[in-house]
Amino acid sequence: MTAEATKTEVGSYFISNYPPFSQWSTDQVGEVRAALEAPPADVPLGLYLHIPFCRKRCKFCYFKVFTDKHADQIERYVSALSREIELVSKVPAMGDRPFRFVYFGGGTPSFLSEKQLRRLVDRLQANIRWDKAEEVTFECEPGTLSEPKVHALRELGVTRLSLGVEHFDDAILRENGRAHESHEIYRAWPWIKAAGFPNVNIDLISGMVGDSDETWRETVSKALELEPDSVTIYQMELPFNTVYSKDILGNQIETPVADWPTKRGWVDYAFDQFMAAGYSVSSAYTLVKHPERVNFSYRDNLWRGSDLLATGIASFGHISGVHYQNLAEWEQYCGSLEEGKLPLNRALRISPRQALIRELILQLKKGYLDGAYFQQKYGVDIFDEWRDAWNEYVGDGYAVLSENRVDLTRAGLLRVDGLLPAFFEPQFRDVRYT
């Protein structure tokens, strides 16, 4: 994928880490074990918990999810996750660090019933606390919410509720395999507002199958009417293991997703509409209503090299310079924890230069870079080190260079993931990302 590509092909476009996940290996699991047993790094600590259950699998989904688990299997998973928390809470790498941020992701964390949620949190808090966390995020699918469940989430300490709206057109939601329809968004919204979360985010996706100029404008209008604290807008992509991707590769059908210029145009329109309503751009994907009140601890700490303890099946983490992923198969994950062993699957210890590149490409997603930060932390002048890339992007109208700083233009921000491989080490520029 390059900045100039137009057709939406099968493959990963969105970049969330470096080096690419495809470079992580089972051979390096010993590295993460050693990191967990070593004293903690002097960086903030976060916690990710993966809840892998969904009512349906979206046709564009590439995460590890299950749609066929019944109550006793869910209980088995919750028990395994609780055991994993117990084990990681005792590793030396934890130190005395409180969790700066906590993230419940999925899957659909809100798939769990109120009773299951309360029981899970009770078990977790026997070993860990998050009452000092700056941010506790919980992802929700509208159709899984009830009024008691929403209020329970607030009582359990959730400070940021992220609602997977994606679109407001029911035909588009159905075509793309979403479990909810628009009436479920409107049913849940008053409960969410009444619960008093400090930050309520809604997710939208530009370029879902069946989308058009008219349906997208209507979705943006309806999203604005809700007045969320923040809105996150992704551009539809086709990673390898989605339903749509398998149809394209297996049956040789044409890609059903809008091309990149169209998707960028739709996000551009949404940015204009939200900014006209008083929102501020927070990243290539996010606009915020009150930037002085809303921060993104999970995002900003991760993008500056914090540690992240990953728990749950197939989850990804980072500890003391080692990236790692948990076991990705149900029986392996649950069985490992039932034997009292952490479910580690693959890892990669990164070099200082790779840590620099990782921070550079992730922080660029905010739309700017401060050269002094990288000079102080890594002793590298990022503008001299990658002079050719910056000059190209300035010439293309994607970036503006000033004194020890770069700012992306709107055109650059809308295609930022396509700009990032230029900063990769040569051996990683043409490899599969995941």
**Domain definitions of the chain by residue range:** 21-301, 355-433
Give the H/E segment covering residue 311: strand 307-311
Which residues make Cβ contacts (< 8 Å) with residue 140, sequence separation at least 6? 108, 109, 110, 153, 161, 162, 163, 164, 188
> Per-residue pLDDT tens for 186-219?
999 999 999 999 999 999 999 999 999 999 999 9
Do the beta carbons of residue 349 and residue 343 sit within 8 Å?
no
Long-range contacts of 213-222 (CB under 8 A, 24+ apart): 213/266, 215/167, 215/169, 215/172, 216/266, 216/269, 216/270, 217/269, 218/168, 218/169, 219/167, 219/168, 219/169, 220/269, 220/270, 220/273, 220/274, 221/273, 222/168, 222/182
> Per-residue pLDDT tens for 44-81?
999 999 999 998 777 666 676 888 899 999 999 999 99
Q: So what's the pLDDT on residue 239?
A: 66
Do the beta carbons of residue 62 and residue 10 sit within 8 Å?
no
Do 21-301 and 355-433 fold alike per CATH? Answer: no
Do the beta carbons of residue 167 and residue 136 sit within 8 Å?
no
Q: What is the mean pLDDT of residues 129-158?
A: 96
Indicate if the pLDDT at residue 434 is higher than 80: no
Longest dimension (CA), the chain: 60
Stretch among 97-106, 111-120, 244-253, 414-423 having the lowest mean pLDDT: 244-253
Q: What is the DSSP letter of 161?
A: E
> Per-residue pLDDT tens for 26-37?
999 999 999 999
Q: What is the mean pLDDT of residues 383-394?
A: 98
Local confidence band at 275 (pLDDT 50, 70, 90 cut-offs)? very high
Q: What is the mean pLDDT of residues 321-334?
A: 97
Q: What is the mean pLDDT of residues 312-330?
A: 97
Q: So what's the pLDDT on residue 249?
A: 66
Q: How far apart are CA 69 and CA 64, in angstroms?
A: 13
Most confident of 112-121, 294-303, 333-342, 425-434: 333-342
Q: So what's the pLDDT on residue 185?
A: 98
Q: So what's the pLDDT on residue 2?
A: 42
CATH 3.20.20.70 fits 21-301, yes or no: yes
- For the chain, the average pLDDT equals 93
Q: What is the mean pLDDT of residues 94-120?
A: 94
Question: Which residue shows structure tokens 């002085």?
Answer: 292
End-to-end CA distance of the chain: 13
Would you tell me which CATH number, out of the four given (3.40.630.10, 1.10.10.920, 1.10.10.10, 3.40.50.10490), belongs to the domain 355-433?
1.10.10.920
pTM above 0.85, yes or no: yes
Local confidence band at 7 (pLDDT 50, 70, 90 cut-offs)? confident
Indicate if the pLDDT at residue 4 is higher than 60: no
Question: Which residue shows structure tokens 């404008």?
Answer: 217
Q: So what's the pLDDT on residue 291?
A: 93
Q: So what's the pLDDT on residue 3?
A: 43
Q: How far apart are CA 53 and CA 73, in angstroms?
A: 11
Q: What is the mean pLDDT of residues 403-427?
A: 96
Strand 45-51 versus strand 99-106 pairing type: parallel
Indicate if the pLDDT at residue 1 is higher than 60: no
Percent of the chain with pLDDT over 70: 93
Q: So what's the pLDDT on residue 59?
A: 67
CA–CA–CA angle 159, 161, 162 (5° rounding): 145
> Where are the strands (E) in 70-169, listed by range?
99-106, 135-140, 160-166
Q: So what's the pLDDT on residue 60?
A: 67
Q: So what's the pLDDT on residue 11?
A: 63
